[in-house]
Structure 1
């Protein structure tokens, strides 16, 4: 049996999906503003989303959410009826309302107080859009318990319960009240899914005068009664000016868990319940009926319908057996982490077993070799399935960043168009959570430092509105996230002058464009002329670089003066395993991530050239690539060896810079389990993580880009970054 707290947490998880749909809908509405091509169904969907959050919050007595979402949905209702136009200003208010609604949900989930001032200001703006005085949520009136009849109450027939509600619907007078007759038969699983029909009846009661009759005939004797199984059905009669669509939206909460039949009368009815029947012409079809089925097998044959019945027919088709949504199970993330760790140990065990059989010279036997290969394949399949459990699209992260852009642009006083691409790109959930802070810094810098003020943009021949683009995609087994703007680009002379002024570099140092750009990642570096709410405190890009490195990733900058800047973040798909090339370096075993390796080269003497006394390059298709000896970098040997006898691993950075990593030989190519050094030991320059090999030995997983930069002794920036722990 699920506790109330468990059901409440399920509601909050569902709110995440609803808030995601809400932001999607508002983005679609905003995108349609320039062309004036609004889709009414999109506005309806946004309204239903807020209504769903409101209804769920009411079930748990979350009054702040109910009050705010009630006012929110009022504006959306006026918008879908055409009384409020979705222009840029109005949609901006709706975006802020969606942000505040997310804050209310988060505060209720963590049971922490939220500053009421921001909410009051937004309520005032929403009420101004609605054109009336501040609203409050509809009163919640208790409904008598209709399930309290015991086994000795005699005949368990329908029990009429008259529920008086003094409710004056807004706009009463013009619409003619109609009588709706509703039959609701619940599935046995209704209660187990956290639903209570009483909450639905309260929503109905807010629309007019409601009478409820409960059918208790299916209840067994008290001794055989299971309180978790719903055996009740109801007949309801509602006198209301509401539309049939309003009623259907209320019953969306139990779609798939109850069979609901709604029938609207064709005549007017007064408040006393008398009805002046208005007989419809006999050639007209009967009033439409909306049906939601709990059990597809119990669904009666669908009647033939005309085009006039299409809306209800489409709704019934949603529950068709062939279109049923996939079943999902919510699992505690700690359990998934534990399972991932176990699978990691399984992969290590498989390597140890393979190594042991090879050392015993029995791996070549057909029966052992076949079983070993099958074990290896099964371990790989289990590993892939388990890793997919943590995979999550970056869509919610992008939506959160959209809020950062809106808030930052308002503070900076700049008009910003925010574009996204690749929202369906999947990445490890842990990686997503740890990307929030770095992306926040980058986006704020892009708006505050990158984009020019509107008058400067006009003078430069640009539109007054700047563009910030956030994209994600898979490249060579990694996830690449880019933040770009169409601003003025990096002012490299200013950056270098500030670095000299702060004593970070020597005044006479000659730096390339890439080296100047990398100065932005130095601790304490800032180009802001004064401290503001957004920047100027010297904390930001160094945090970005540090956080990305902790994730096993790297960040690069591409900037073109007058055209804009792009920050590129390259990350592993998962923090658990990677495909590695196991190499021998001066008798030590190391692992190079395969995603960094462009190709392997057995050098020819004619392709090797000396640069200065110690540096050597290799000619690769008419390009000279510097060679980095891993044995020398990690002090595994004191003297360089003949590199013609070594193997060169050609690696490429995000800035398209290339190096050749010289190793003694390539041992193997395999998947290795990542063991972080950050938490157990600390950061080691040039080392991304460690792993356990099949023979039980520990091997270091190198960071090819950082290792190559360590070898670039001619670059003061590289040395400075290394000394700063970068």
Structure 2
């Protein structure tokens, strides 16, 4: 593995760390600022800092060093996590994400001067009360002569002369010997932070090795001379311990099990000293091992306050076993499974032609092939959390730009969907979030006047429904003002002034290219290039978007997307001498109408009576320019489908089968064709085109006369 590959792994870990930090911030905002949550944020920044130094990203390393310093003061309870301080920490997180992106994309680092100044200013520790703190600090130190000097060095020397603490160790505990290289302090390095990480594993630093410490006249303050010996409980794993030192440069590190319960011997050149200045935390009750009395003297902090470094032992659970796989390899596996599905369908077709369709082995093969396909697709599945984790930052930016107060509620972030869908849904989702805050939510003053709380609510949810994933962006704002939307549409020439439109049709006008109700153009909206992009991107994913709005109460946008773009369940139909596939997710029902079930409105227009509602019938043959197809609706098969503009009916000649098909991209193998979502290979080897239901119906509704021209030829 070369250096570039290792660096890519580092950036992947950066993304994971940033996602973990975002989740931790959400927890802190809910009032749960327990020490482990703060430690999680600190560890993520510390890991990014270590990797940044290893790969020479100096600006990223310098920023994380200041960020880490502030977080360390918070987790040690030296600073209290106030709302202002939390705002600084969250703002620094946004800047950290920009730094990581710049380093990954080899772009220019962001201008972080103002944020660095905020971090430095926030890291200033208030001066302690000198009398009370000094008295408390020296009370626990051994008497070594005259009173402690004002600079506190006598206290440290007293600790160095103290005997080794009698810390009992159990058989199987880890002994960790760490001697950093002399250049360990370069580039903002701090070995003490590594020791504090050991303390978070419930470890105890037993002794400092001062054998390499030179005389004062030879001492270089920028070099590291000390080493340490620590004990870590057996509950920690070897990987947990070594990961702390993962990005440390040249050093001596020995991690080994203690064979007996005796305290490990300490060399003559090693002096007992406890350098972990962690604050005392309440330890959870342990039903197996009783708490151990520890009479060691407390090491003074810079403030002179006594510190107890005992930390609670976190519950250790077996981590999930994972492996990193190159995406190209995974895509090849998915393609091969797809070809296997096609071959299985061909085999089933051949056996059926010879009267052998019912053999049990063929049924078993069909079940195994489908299970293999589903398992393979599950490997590509990712939780929506990878997309949703970006939204809090977008909300924070919009709050600053608009002056509005917004609370984000996220539901179903662990709902899984195919990786391709996850990658391509980010841009439409960003547009919808910005639209909800800018157009949907009112200002705090307007909300109070309307009897609402000052803080608006944006809800982001994801659920599985009928073999698809439905992503909803809802707000409790003003809703869609249909009179204003209609007036703007008439003003821009999108609809005629005398057009009769339903509420649903008025709502869908906001997706028209160039449409906007914003009074002024801003950095957020006003140019009319947002919602039409959303619809196009969603349709490109084989999905549809629906709107539900109540004026004065809010709006909801629901994106219905396929769980995967690689396979789909479809109904195979014939139109003339051609074979097509209609995605099953669009189909409501199929039927042969009675003689009086279809109302003819002209030479090519007709309506189907669907339980009292008249739905327009679209002749697929006319839209696609296919000759020899059935023209009489009463003799054809009518398929009721659901599109993003409501229900419609597709008229086809017959239904052949219903099966799962492998989607092949027309764009990659031929060219993009409006109205067609892709192609597939059937069991008999024929190529069948997959209909894009939304595009077909939208095209017909814009101008019904296009139904007489072959698709792709009409303007």
TM-score normalised over the length of structure 2 = 0.74
Alpha-carbon contact 2:539-2:694 (below 8 Å) kept: no
Alpha-carbon contact 1:203-1:250 (below 8 Å) kept: no
2:678 counterpart residue number: 689
Q: Is residue 54 of structure 1 aligned with residue 54 of structure 2?
A: no
Q: Distance in 1 between matches of 2:705 and 2:121?
A: 59
Q: Distance in 1 between matches of 2:378 and 2:39?
A: 34
Gap change, CA 1:5 and 1:615, over 3 Å in 2: closer
Q: Is residue 104 of structure 1 aligned with residue 95 of structure 2?
A: no
Question: Shift of the alpha carbon at 1:715?
Answer: 8.2
Residue by residue over 1:291-335, the C-alpha shift from the partner in whole angstroms, topping out at 9 and shown as x without a partner, is xxxxxxxxxxx99511459999985862xxxx4323221111112
Q: Distance in 2 between matches of 1:276 and 1:329?
A: 40
Question: Shift of the alpha carbon at 1:603?
Answer: 3.0
Alpha-carbon contact 2:39-2:75 (below 8 Å) kept: yes
Gap change, CA 1:409 and 1:237, over 3 Å in 2: closer
Residue of structure 2 aligned with 1:652, choices 625, 639, 642: 642
SS in 1 for 2:656: strand
Residue of structure 2 aligned with 1:89, choices 84, 100, 113: 84
Residue by residue over 1:339-397, the C-alpha shift from the partner in whole angstroms, topping out at 9 and shown as x without a partner, is 222222222222223223334x1534x7xx44433433333232222212211111121
Counterparts of 1:79-158 in structure 2 under 5 Å?
Answer: 79-115=74-110, 117=111, 119-131=112-124
Q: Is residue 331 of structure 1 aligned with residue 304 of structure 2?
A: no
Q: Distance in 2 between matches of 1:716 and 1:204?
A: 76
Gap change, CA 1:258 and 1:693, over 3 Å in 2: farther
Gap change, CA 1:261 and 1:60, over 3 Å in 2: farther
Question: Shift of the alpha carbon at 1:3?
Answer: 3.0
1:342 counterpart residue number: 336
CA RMSD of aligned residues (A): 4.5
Counterparts of 1:203-602 in structure 2 under 5 Å?
Answer: 203-204=190-191, 211=209, 236-237=227-228, 252-253=243-244, 258-259=255-256, 305-307=289-291, 315=313, 318=316, 323-359=317-353, 361-364=354-357, 369-602=359-592
How many residue pairs end up in the alignment? 611
Residue by residue over 1:446-471, the C-alpha shift from the partner in whole angstroms, topping out at 9 and shown as x without a partner, is 21222112211111111122111211
1:3 counterpart residue number: 2
1:66 counterpart residue number: 61
Question: Shift of the alpha carbon at 1:573?
Answer: 1.0
Q: Distance in 2 between matches of 1:4 and 1:253?
A: 21
Residue by residue over 1:10-52, the C-alpha shift from the partner in whole angstroms, topping out at 9 and shown as x without a partner, is 22222222211111111100011xxxx5433322322233223
Residue by residue over 1:75-119, the C-alpha shift from the partner in whole angstroms, topping out at 9 and shown as x without a partner, is 32333344444344332322221122222222223333212x2x2
2:148 counterpart residue number: none
1:664 counterpart residue number: 653
Alpha-carbon contact 2:208-2:271 (below 8 Å) kept: no
Residue by residue over 1:473-501, the C-alpha shift from the partner in whole angstroms, topping out at 9 and shown as x without a partner, is 11111111111111111222222222222
Question: Shift of the alpha carbon at 1:262?
Answer: 14
2:690 counterpart residue number: 701
Gap change, CA 1:632 and 1:415, over 3 Å in 2: same
2:223 counterpart residue number: none
Question: Shift of the alpha carbon at 1:640?
Answer: 6.3
Q: Distance in 1 between matches of 2:363 and 2:211?
A: 66
Gaps of at least 5 residues in structure 1 are 134-169, 188-194, 215-234, 240-244, 278-287, 291-301
Residue by residue over 1:42-70, the C-alpha shift from the partner in whole angstroms, topping out at 9 and shown as x without a partner, is 22322233223333434444333332223
Counterparts of 1:19-58 in structure 2 under 5 Å?
Answer: 19-32=18-31, 38-58=33-53
Gaps of at least 5 residues in structure 2 are 127-150, 196-206, 213-225, 231-235, 247-253, 275-280, 295-308
Question: Shift of the alpha carbon at 1:596?
Answer: 1.6
Gap change, CA 1:58 and 1:211, over 3 Å in 2: farther
Alpha-carbon contact 1:632-1:638 (below 8 Å) kept: no
TM-score normalised over the length of structure 1 = 0.73
1:636 counterpart residue number: 626
Question: Shift of the alpha carbon at 1:259?
Answer: 4.4
- Larger displacement relative to structure 2 (63-72 or 460-469): 63-72
Gap change, CA 1:100 and 1:661, over 3 Å in 2: same
Q: Distance in 2 between matches of 1:260 and 1:402?
A: 44
Question: Shift of the alpha carbon at 1:610?
Answer: 4.6
SS in 2 for 1:471: strand
1:158 counterpart residue number: none
Question: Shift of the alpha carbon at 1:613?
Answer: 7.0
Q: Distance in 2 between matches of 1:404 and 1:629?
A: 44
SS in 2 for 1:598: strand
Gap change, CA 1:632 and 1:53, over 3 Å in 2: same
SS in 2 for 1:678: helix
Residue by residue over 1:202-233, the C-alpha shift from the partner in whole angstroms, topping out at 9 and shown as x without a partner, is 7536789953999xxxxxxxxxxxxxxxxxxx
Q: Distance in 1 between matches of 2:702 and 2:108?
A: 54
Q: Distance in 2 between matches of 1:58 and 1:607?
A: 74
SS in 1 for 2:572: strand
Alpha-carbon contact 1:204-1:210 (below 8 Å) kept: no
Gap change, CA 1:333 and 1:197, over 3 Å in 2: farther
SS in 2 for 1:519: helix
Q: Distance in 1 between matches of 2:492 and 2:259?
A: 74
Alpha-carbon contact 2:431-2:530 (below 8 Å) kept: yes
Gap change, CA 1:724 and 1:667, over 3 Å in 2: closer
